[in-house]
Amino acid sequence: MPFEITIPRLGWSMEEGTFVRWLKSDGDSIRAGDAVFELEGEKAAQDVEAVDSGVLRIPADSPAPGTVVAVGAVIGFLVAEGESIPASCCMRASTLVPDRIDNGTSRPNLSNGDSSEKLPLVISEIPPAAPSVRRIAREMGVAIGSVEGSGPAGRITASDVRSKSGKSTTDTTVSDNKVATVANVASPRARRVASELGVDWQEISGTGRDGRVRESDVRGSVPLAHSTKVAIQIPVSARRRTIANRMLASCHQTAPVTLTTRIDATNLVSLRQQFKQSNDGHPVPSFSDIAIKLVTFCLRQHPFLAARSEGDHWILPQTPNDIHIGFAVDTDDGLVVPVIHGAGSLSLFDIARRSIALIEKARFGKLSVSEMQGGVFTMTNLGSFGIDAFTPIINLPETAVLGLGRIRREPVVVGDQIVARDQMTLSLTVDHRIVDGAPAAKFLQTLGQALENPSAWLLRDDSVPI
């Protein structure tokens, strides 16, 4: 019988996702493990692999690219040669289907309790396009449904609408003897804010990389008189909801306690300066990279700080390769925490390479779900924002999170003299249910000693077991 291809749950709170595209064509032979389609969840897009083998059959009513679909929905089948499939596949529970779709078509009435009636899975049948693009289409008299999208997952762009209307896809305006070229790229947050403010982001000059329009560019383009007329209502995105839910769960499910200490970071600053001056082809480790490596040494001495809560028991790392360190990255779409897997067995330069690659993927929304899972300890650095100390929130199901503050040159008493030294504050939040204050303080003390004398610690033998 046909094997159903369904929408998987990519995250612990995921109830629906966005179908991006099929990676295989109807009639292709599929083997177990082949990537069949791409699905965007709460934080990342991921290739979904087949769990069985057969011939791929994509029904006519399978969701179009950009369609929001419910977890568990059937979107296709794997069949044997010559085997047929049901006439309609895209079904979902009636409780998840709105009474009317966006074009005004009524849904079947389920008031008679007939749960056997099949309902279409599609939540929205409007072609994928931003509100600002739809507004441009209305102004130009173009039917949005007649436009073929050239964006990701067939998304319709303003250029597609202008091309359909016969107008140029690149407009320029002259003001104060300067030419402003229409921007072609904008961050998702900038697009959302532009829609909320009724601003065409395509007419804004971006300050981001390669002219990318950022949220600040959109807000800066709105005259103050206009922006203060009414209160701005900002809808909560799926990623923001996920972040909020995880932060709230952390506060409700842990007993957080934050400890802070000041350390002398003069040797740490000197070591990084030596790396910058050596110019030997290796990537220059950041302060965060050095801290991650030193944290792995300290976790081997204080393993309960690396405990993961799993039901009614805790899991501790057994080898350096089991020490996976997450680090917070701020992106246009919100905070994400990529994980350096096996950080305890990596060299400092390997950690630097991994962190550079993960940061790049995070800022372009290319992180996979697996690259954000499995961490045993998380680190966040707000030093670049001028923050000294703060209260980082534990990343469930982990036990501890470390915050790095800014490094600041200050006068310090050394012996009988006052000298200038680099000072930094460490902020450690632990789950007091698992770790008491004294063991947490000992870990922070050990880490402080490591950061004050990083060169000696980095020469330690990595083969020492936990």
Query: What pLDDT, on the 0 to 100 scale, is given for residue 85?
Result: 78
Which residues are catalytically annotated? 432, 436
What is the spatial distance between Cα 330 and Cα 424, in angstroms, rounded to a whole number? Answer: 21
What is the spatial distance between Cα 166 and Cα 158, in angstroms, rounded to a whole number? Answer: 12
Give 396 or 12, the one with higher predicted confidence.
Answer: 396
pLDDT-based confidence at 88, cuts 50/70/90?
low
Give 306 or 90, the one with higher predicted confidence.
Answer: 306
pLDDT in tens, 237-280: 777 778 888 888 888 889 999 999 999 999 999 999 999 998 77
pLDDT-based confidence at 173, cuts 50/70/90?
very low
With CA atoms as reference, report the closest residue to 195 among 218, 165, 163, 170.
218
CATH code linked to domain 239-458: 3.30.559.10
What is the spatial distance between Cα 162 and Cα 182, in angstroms, rounded to a whole number? Answer: 13
Task: Classify 33 in phi/psi space as left (phi over 0), alpha (psi -120 to 50) or beta.
Answer: left
Mean per-residue pLDDT over the chain, rounded:
81
Tokens of residue 195, six digits:
């829609």
Give 320 or 214, the one with higher predicted confidence.
Answer: 320
Mark out the alpha helices in 173-261 (DSSP H runs): 188-197, 215-220, 224-227, 238-253
Query: What pLDDT, on the 0 to 100 scale, is given for residue 317?
Result: 94
Q: Is the pLDDT of residue 127 over 70?
A: no
Q: Is the pLDDT of residue 95 over 70?
A: no
Least confident window among 120-134, 193-207, 350-364, 449-463? 120-134
Overall CATH class of domain 3-96:
mainly beta
Give 179 or 16, the one with higher predicted confidence.
Answer: 16
Q: Is the pLDDT of residue 440 over 50?
A: yes
Give residue for tokens 């081997």.
300
As a whole-number percent, the residues of the chain with pLDDT over 90 amount to: 41
Query: What pLDDT, on the 0 to 100 scale, is given for residue 105?
Result: 38
Grouping H, G, I as helix, E, B as strand and the rest as coil, residue 55 is: strand
Domain ranges of the chain: 3-96, 131-227, 239-458
pLDDT in tens, 293-334: 999 999 999 999 999 988 788 899 999 999 999 999 998 878
Q: What would the mean pLDDT of 349-367 be, rounded to a whole number? A: 93
The domain 131-227 belongs to what CATH superfamily?
Answer: E3-binding domain (4.10.320.10)
E strands within 157-300?
A: 172-175, 178-181, 256-264
Q: What would the mean pLDDT of 375-386 be, rounded to a whole number? A: 95
Q: What would the mean pLDDT of 435-452 be, rounded to a whole number? A: 96
With CA atoms as reference, report the closest residue to 381 among 334, 330, 440.
330
Tokens of residue 455, six digits:
């060169």
pLDDT in tens, 131-153: 567 767 777 888 877 888 777 66
Q: Where is mean pLDDT largest: 30-39, 233-242, 387-396? A: 387-396
Query: What pLDDT, on the 0 to 100 scale, is given for residue 111?
Result: 37
Give 426 or 227, the one with higher predicted confidence.
Answer: 426
Bridge partners (DSSP) of residue 423 are 264, 408
Q: What would the mean pLDDT of 278-300 be, rounded to a whole number? A: 92
